[in-house]
Amino acid sequence: MRIGLKEVAAEAGVSRSTASRALSGSPLISAETRAAVEEAAARLNYRPNRLAGALRTRQSHLVGLVLNNLINASFHTIAEVVQRRAAAEGYQVVLGITDADPAREKAFLLTLAAHGVDGIVMIGTGKNGATTNALRAEGVAVVNVIRRPIDSAAPAVLAADREGAHAATAHLLDLGHERIGFIGGEPTANSGRERFAGYEQALRERGLDPDESLIERGPFTPAFGTEAIARLLGRTPRMTALFAANHEAVFGILPTLASTGVAIPGDLSLVCYEDIPWLRYWSPAITVVDNGASELGELAMNLLLHQLKQARGAENGETPNGRAYRVGAQLILRDSTAPRARGGDRPSGPTAAAVEA
């Protein structure tokens, strides 16, 4: 037999309404009565019917977290922050991995809606703004993180990608490099657009035009990184520095550089985007642009919880419709960059034939 609230109330010697208030943490119930009800619930192995509660209160205490992948270390950090902050407020997190597929992402959003989630944190494809707008119209709180659909009415928490990319490129230029390769994300993603814009701006400020033969832009995957670095290493005159602005691609770039004998920073100075322990412990330690993933997660949860409290009538104030919030980037200097060697732009690394082999 399923134990219900009626049985808990009888075991504790209180009314059903009193038992309900005690288990929901109502301040109207004394500490003594609350303890008696909680002890009765524990003795009977009572498990609340969350679905029934959600139907009564129109609150499920569920928060959806939508991620493109689990490769990106920043997504890990943000997920940890979302889980911690949600649990502290009494919410459970429902996680969905979409593999950056807009159709799969939309299907998961609709599944979350069908389960009555109270809010959603989106690190998505940027292609389902209309869907999240419809969910917001139904009372679901939504916050976009890192990637923002152009048509989304939800607030967005974004990294200072243009500024971070500018700082990385300027650092390489200060070291005397002019042939600076760029491996970035797709221009359809705002991070892909903004990081390229920062790279381009830094070059033009020094009187240099971007060289298309040094630029590779594509999917956020390790496989793309492997392919892109092989193409760049096969072109002449060779680059003397590389800005790897596509984080997922780094997991293909670094092993390829190591396996083909390219010495860092002797043959190639390297800056990567987004920091992870793996890059700190690589030999040599990799200079990075830290996008502040933990701060991105904290700000996203502040915005989500603000919306949820507004929905409960516990807080007044303007809903942050469509507003974008930025978290600053920081260039962290390590051992993977060095001044350009004198005597030409071509480093002493492997030949194109060796790379292709």
What confidence tens digit (pLDDT) does each residue in 318-346 have?
Answer: 556 689 999 999 999 999 999 998 754 44
Return d(Cα 224, Cα 248) in angstroms, integer: 9
At residue 27, the pLDDT reads 80
Helix axes 190-205, 161-174, angle to 10 degrees: 30
Portion of the chain with pLDDT greater than 90, in percent = 76
Any idea what DSSP says for residue 344? -
Work out the angle at residue 172's Cα, subtended by the Cα atoms of residues 221 and 160, and round it to the nearest 5 degrees: 60
Q: Can you give the pLDDT at residue 1?
A: 61
Low-confidence ranges of the chain (pLDDT < 70): 1, 48-58, 312-321, 343-357
Per-residue pLDDT, 234: 96
**What does each C-alpha distance from 23 to 53, 59, 60, 61 come to in angstroms?**
12, 16, 15, 15
Which domains does the chain show, CATH number per domain? 5-48 (1.10.260.40), 59-159+294-322 (3.40.50.2300), 161-290 (3.40.50.2300)
Tokens of 46: 């009572």
Name the E strands within 76-210: 92-97, 119-123, 141-145, 156-159, 180-185
**Sign of the four-CA dihedral 231, 233, 235, 239:** positive
Please tell me the distance from the alpha carbon of residue 230 to that of residue 224, in angstroms, as a whole number: 10
Task: Tally the C-alpha atoms within 13 A of residue 42's C-alpha that lie toward its C-beta.
Answer: 6
Q: Is 147 exposed, middle or buried (0-12, 13-18, 19+ CB in 10 A)?
A: buried
